[in-house]
Amino acid sequence: MQTAAVDINCDMGEGYGQWRLGDIDDADLMKLISSANIATGFHAGDPNLMDATVRLATQYGVGVGAHPGFRDLQGFGRRRINGTSEELVNDIVYQIGALREFARRYGATLQHVKPHGALYMEFAASEEMSRNFVRTMRTVAPNAFIYCMGMSETYRAATEAGHPVIREFYADRDYDRSGSIVFTRRTGRLDPRLVAEKVVHACRTGKVRTVEGDEIDIAFESICFHSDTPGSLEIATAMRAALDAAGVKVRPVAELTHHLKPAARG
């Protein structure tokens, strides 16, 4: 079945002090997305950058999301940090609280929470960690969507708990036969036209080609791309044009709830 409307999310505010990741201005990308995953200080981000990015998102009507990661500024949150499930969830609570206060400052609410990098993949594989994360979210942010892969322990834990959850389709990452993304620390320059074709194909058919050469079913409500992917602005521009041409509307998840099954709505 063709997808009639999708959310587009992108990682934002990924810098620290005078350092910025990549050479793309968040404002250029903000015009092309509907949800922003804003770094919350542990893998990137600082108070001034969080403030500026939240303010920018509210100006463009983009949904504000917290993007908590491992406590790993040097490794950009892409290295696994050992810790108990409780320790990792407490780190997330700390980061959510920081971002939520900046959102409150500009009259916005916390639309979603999306773990970053290696933490995202850790939760995807761990039933215990995902259940603890979701259980905590039910208390500290019961109305905030959790963004995750459909084929993940995070999605299973959220749907079982009745927590609002959004499944993602990764435009700028490869998939394997299990339906999981192929995690990589470095991404080469992609052809924006091919990425756009991949996205439209997924929206039209609900399928994606894997690195093994198969086509598998993929269900999603949001399309993700990364601001640090080389050529991200060209990728986002090509995706938006292709989705418009295919008749697929881009809307924030708050406007897409009528497209979601009851378990995803909470």
Q: How many CB atoms lie within 10 A of CB 38?
A: 28
Q: Which two tokens stand for residue 41?
A: 């200080």
Token pair 């916005």: residue = 108
First to last CA, the chain: 23
Task: Phi first, then psi: give them for residue 80, nearest 5 degrees.
Answer: -75, 130
The answer to whether 149 and 182 are in contact (CB under 8 A) is: no
pTM of the model: 0.92
87-97: string of b/e by CB count within 10 Å (b at 16+)? ebbebbbebbe
Token look-up 């470095």 returns 186
| Closest to 26 (Cα-Cα) out of 253, 243, 232 | 232
Bridge partners of residue 264, in order along the sequence: none
Burial class (CB in 10 A: 0-12, 13-18, 19+), 153: buried
| Sequential pLDDT tens for the chain (266 residues) | 578 899 999 999 998 887 777 667 899 999 999 999 999 999 999 999 999 999 999 999 999 999 999 887 776 767 778 888 899 999 999 999 999 999 999 999 999 999 998 999 999 999 999 999 999 999 999 999 999 999 999 999 999 999 999 999 999 999 999 888 886 656 678 999 999 999 999 999 999 999 999 999 999 999 999 998 899 999 999 999 999 999 999 998 888 764 444 333 33
Strand pairing partners for 148? Answer: 167
CB 193 within 8 A of CB 238: yes
Q: Residue 244 is which amino acid? A: D
Alpha helices (runs of H) in 106-177, residue ranges in sequence order: 117-125, 127-140, 153-161
